[in-house]
């Protein structure tokens, strides 16, 4: 069972799939504790906040309510909602707290592509076809370490930056990682001008890519 905080259809605003129509599944639960997290409502799983999936889909504001769903129920919901997008992004919270193989495989079997957005602090349980975005969270309050296995599995590594120390953290993480088949992105935290200028400079220096959270500039989910 997957504890779903949100399901909605929009445009992917980050990384390699920027501009692609996508269905987002936001799962409840995350112990990592990023100070700048913009989805803190997903951190805790409070049994008293369990709702029906109908109530969750009908949300008009961010809340910590969630609904327990099987992979089959999630697929049925896509059909009932008449979603047209064929790319599914599983995020959180920390989605890799869950075994995502059953959900992703069912979606693949029904014509969808899948993408996971993870902090890299939990083992990634997903099919080989699933695109994995690791946004490594270093020295966060929860005390979780970024796993080398997660960096190795990543198709893209998208690192949030505000200061030069964040770039140094990424460089240190990549020492033991073969990046020849990976895309490396820097993503300015909260669209701060200083952070954006730093990210542009470092992307130019290292031949990395810039991810600017297009959805926030557009004012969409």
State how far the Cα of 58 lies from the Cα of 61, in Å rounded to an integer: 9
- Residue 164 in any domain: the answer is no
- Residue 61 in any domain: the answer is yes
Q: Could you tell me the CATH number of the domain that includes residue 144?
A: 3.20.20.70
Number of independent structural domains in the chain: 1
Binding residues for substrate: 11-13, 26, 91
- Residue 172 in any domain: the answer is no
Strands (E), the chain: 2-11, 21-27, 67-69, 87-91, 113-118, 131-134, 156-161, 183-188, 209-210
* Residue ranges making up the domain that contains 40: 2-158
- Residue 10 in any domain: the answer is yes
Binning pLDDT at 50, 70 and 90, where does residue 205 land? very high
Binding residues for S-adenosyl-L-methionine: 36-38, 93, 135-137
Q: Is the pTM of this model over 0.85?
A: yes
Q: What is the pLDDT of residues 181-193, one digit of tens each?
A: 999 999 998 667 8
- Residue 212 in any domain: the answer is no
Q: What is the pLDDT of residue 191?
A: 66
- Residue 135 in any domain: the answer is yes
Binding residues for Mg(2+): 39
Binding residues: 11-13, 26, 30, 34, 36-39, 91, 93, 135-137
- Residue 117 in any domain: the answer is yes
- Residue 196 in any domain: the answer is no
């Amino acid at each position: 069972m997957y504890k779903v905080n949100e399901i909605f259809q929009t445009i992917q605003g980050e990384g390699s799939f920027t501009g692609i129509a996508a269905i987002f599944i936001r799962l409840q639960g995350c112990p990592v504790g990023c100070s700048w997290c913009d989805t803190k409502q997903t951190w805790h799983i409070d049994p008293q906040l369990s709702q029906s999936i109908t109530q969750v889909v009908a949300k008009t504001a961010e809340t910590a309510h969630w609904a327990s769903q099987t992979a089959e129920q999630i697929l049925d919901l896509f059909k009932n909602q008449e979603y047209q997008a064929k790319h599914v992004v599983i995020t959180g919270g920390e989605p890799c707290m869950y075994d995502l193989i059953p959900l992703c495989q069912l979606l693949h079997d029904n014509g969808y592509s899948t993408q996971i957005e993870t902090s890299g602090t939990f083992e990634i349980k997903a099919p080989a076809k699933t695109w994995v975005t690791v946004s490594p969270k270093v020295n966060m309050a929860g005390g979780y370490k970024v796993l080398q296995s997660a960096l190795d599995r990543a198709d893209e590594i998208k690192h949030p930056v505000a200061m030069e120390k964040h770039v140094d953290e990424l460089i240190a993480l990549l020492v033991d990682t073969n990046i020849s088949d990976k895309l490396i992105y820097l993503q300015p935290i909260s669209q701060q001008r200083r952070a954006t200028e730093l990210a542009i400079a470092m992307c130019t220096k290292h031949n990395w890519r810039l991810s600017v959270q297009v959805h926030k500039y557009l004012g969409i989910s």
